[in-house]
């Protein structure tokens, strides 16, 4: 029972006790000196069962056995009461028992209280009369109806209060869970928003890398052809025109590569296999950039789609950087399987450098390689050329490339 209802019943019970005490004394003024202390003791017994009055210092066993003290006091009060007003004490005591004890205990105690009431009636009857069961029996079975009625009414009231309290508690729990669900939903929405932003940023970076890899390489070879054509115009116009035609062809091919990249971004898959794409890129670079490229590879490599895209972009980046920044004239490209790994290597004979500052292309390449659980190594020195080495794990059976990256 909640504190509010408990306070309400306490007020009703103690008010009833005090009122009954007053009426009992007024109807038994000759015994007031007995009834006042006995009523005070009964009031104390009621207070003993309530922690706000006892302060929690009284033993629980003593509190639960306080009804025995009630029975003794009720017996003494009833013997001193000539008006039978004290019978109200029995009803008040039953009400308190129902409120204080569980169902079974309160029922047993109420039966004991009724038996004490009958015993007191019997004692008072034989004290003033000769015992006649036929005359006494109506009080036996009529009064029991009052006791049963009081007990049932209080028990039903108690159950209603408990159910109402449980319903209120359930409603509070539902409100709390609703609030928690609201907070969880808000956090989920925030997480989805962040995930959407991350996905957008990731896709933006992917598009930037595709454009960098495709357009960067194409423009590099076109610039070489244009530069050669400019120099040949005064010396050999026909060869200069040939170079410009090659530059035009390379621009056209670059447009096709851009369209291919757009389709790849849209469809999520490459249109060409890795090795033929690498051969085509190497052949075009040799023709338009005037460099020699040696390419060695294993014919049957267990490559995933994402791995193929990363390696093709690495070849584009390596050739573009070697030609544009390194001034190299030859490359060595290899793609082989070594134990549980695929190793890609591109080495040039360019100028090299002692202090490497990675640009957008190398950083993007490193990010994609690491995203697949691989390793990127760069080796360079002044006058010793430039070497890019990528190691990717071979995808194990039953795993996709994302799971492979996590597994590695």
DSSP string, 296-355: EE-SS----HHHHHHHHHHHHHHHHHHHHTS--SEEEEEEEEETTEEEEEEEE-S---SS
Tell me the longest C-alpha to C-alpha distance in the chain.
156
Residue labelled with tokens 């898959």: 269
What is the reported pLDDT for 181?
Answer: 83
For the segment 15-29, the average pLDDT, to the nearest whole number, is 84
For the segment 234-250, the average pLDDT, to the nearest whole number, is 70
Task: Please report, to the nearest 10 degrees, the dihedral formed by the alpha carbons of residues 117, 42, 11, 24 taken in order.
Answer: 70
State what percent of residues in the chain have pLDDT above 70. Answer: 74
Contact between 367 and 206 (Cβ < 8 Å): no
pLDDT above 90 (res 90): no
Contacts of 144 (CB under 8 A, 6+ apart): 114
Cα–Cα nearest to 405, from 362, 364, 368, 365: 368
Contact between 226 and 244 (Cβ < 8 Å): yes
For the segment 357-376, the average pLDDT, to the nearest whole number, is 84
Cα distances (Å, whole numbers) of residue 306 to 209, 235, 264, 371, 404: 14, 47, 11, 10, 12
Contacts of 156 (CB under 8 A, 6+ apart): none
pLDDT above 70 (res 200): no
Rounded CA-CA distance 383/328 in Å is 11
Q: What are phi and psi of 297, to 5 degrees?
A: -160, 160
What is the reported pLDDT for 57?
Answer: 57
- List beta partners, residue 386: 348, 380
Name the pairing type of β-strands 292-297 and 330-338. parallel
What is the reported pLDDT for 334?
Answer: 92
For the segment 39-59, the average pLDDT, to the nearest whole number, is 71
Rounded CA-CA distance 35/262 in Å is 103
292 SS3 class: strand
Rounded CA-CA distance 385/202 in Å is 32
Q: What are phi and psi of 135, to 5 degrees?
A: -80, -30
Residue labelled with tokens 């209060």: 161
For the segment 287-305, the average pLDDT, to the nearest whole number, is 83
The domain locations on the chain are: 3-131, 291-408
398 SS3 class: coil
56 SS3 class: coil
Q: What are phi and psi of 342, to 5 degrees?
A: -110, 125
Rounded CA-CA distance 212/361 in Å is 7
What is the reported pLDDT for 268?
Answer: 46
Rounded CA-CA distance 51/57 in Å is 8
Of the chain, the end-to-end C-alpha distance in Å amounts to: 60
99 SS3 class: helix
The structural architecture, per CATH, of the domain 291-408 is: 2-Layer Sandwich (3.30)
Element (H, E) at 387: strand 386-393
Q: How many residues does the chain have?
A: 408
Element (H, E) at 38: helix 32-48
CB atoms within 10 A of CB 313: 21
pLDDT above 70 (res 356): yes
Confidence of residue 139 (pLDDT cuts 50, 70, 90): low
Q: What are phi and psi of 336, to 5 degrees?
A: -140, 160
pTM for the structure as a whole: 0.42
Structure tokens at 405: 């990256």
């Amino acid at each position: 029972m909640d504190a509010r209802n408990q306070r309400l019943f306490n007020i009703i019970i103690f008010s009833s006790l005090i009122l009954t005490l007053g009426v009992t004394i007024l109807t038994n003024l000759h015994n007031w000196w007995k009834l006042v202390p006995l009523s005070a003791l009964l009031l104390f017994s009621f207070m003993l069962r309530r922690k706000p009055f006892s302060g929690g210092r009284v033993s629980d066993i003593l509190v639960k056995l306080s009804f025995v003290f009630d029975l003794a006091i009720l017996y003494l009060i009833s013997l001193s009461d000539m008006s039978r007003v004290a019978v109200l004490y029995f009803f008040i005591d039953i009400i308190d028992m129902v409120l204080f004890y569980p169902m079974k205990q309160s029922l047993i105690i109420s039966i004991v209280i009724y038996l004490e009431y009958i015993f007191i009636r019997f004692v008072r009857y034989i004290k003033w009369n000769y015992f006649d069961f036929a005359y006494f029996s109506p009080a036996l079975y009529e009064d029991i109806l009052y006791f049963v009625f009081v007990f049932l009414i209080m028990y039903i009231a108690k159950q209603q209060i408990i159910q109402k309290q449980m319903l209120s508690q359930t409603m509070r729990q539902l409100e709390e869970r609703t609030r928690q669900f609201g907070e969880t939903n808000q956090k989920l929405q925030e997480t989805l928003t962040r995930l959407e932003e991350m996905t957008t940023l990731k896709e933006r970076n992917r598009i930037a890398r595709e454009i960098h890899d495709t357009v960067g390489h194409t423009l590099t070879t076109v610039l070489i052809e244009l530069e050669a054509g400019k120099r040949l115009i005064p010396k050999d116009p026909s060869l200069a025109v040939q170079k410009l035609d090659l530059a035009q062809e390379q621009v056209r091919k670059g447009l096709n590569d851009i369209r291919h990249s757009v389709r790849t971004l849209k469809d999520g898959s490459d249109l060409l296999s890795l090795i033929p794409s690498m051969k085509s890129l190497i052949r075009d670079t040799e023709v338009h950039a005037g460099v020699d490229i040696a390419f060695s590879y294993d014919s049957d490599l267990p490559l995933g789609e994402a791995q193929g895209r990363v390696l093709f972009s690495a070849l584009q980046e390596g050739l573009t950087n070697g030609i544009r920044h390194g001034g190299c004239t030859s490359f060595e490209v290899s793609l082989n399987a070594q134990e549980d790994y695929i190793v890609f290597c591109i080495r040039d004979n360019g100028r090299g450098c002692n202090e490497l500052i990675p640009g957008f292309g190398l950083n993007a390449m490193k990010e994609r390689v690491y995203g697949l659980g691989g390793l990127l190594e760069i080796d360079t020195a002044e006058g010793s050329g430039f070497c890019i080495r990528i190691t990717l794990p071979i995808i194990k059976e039953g795993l996709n490339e994302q799971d492979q990256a996590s597994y590695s």
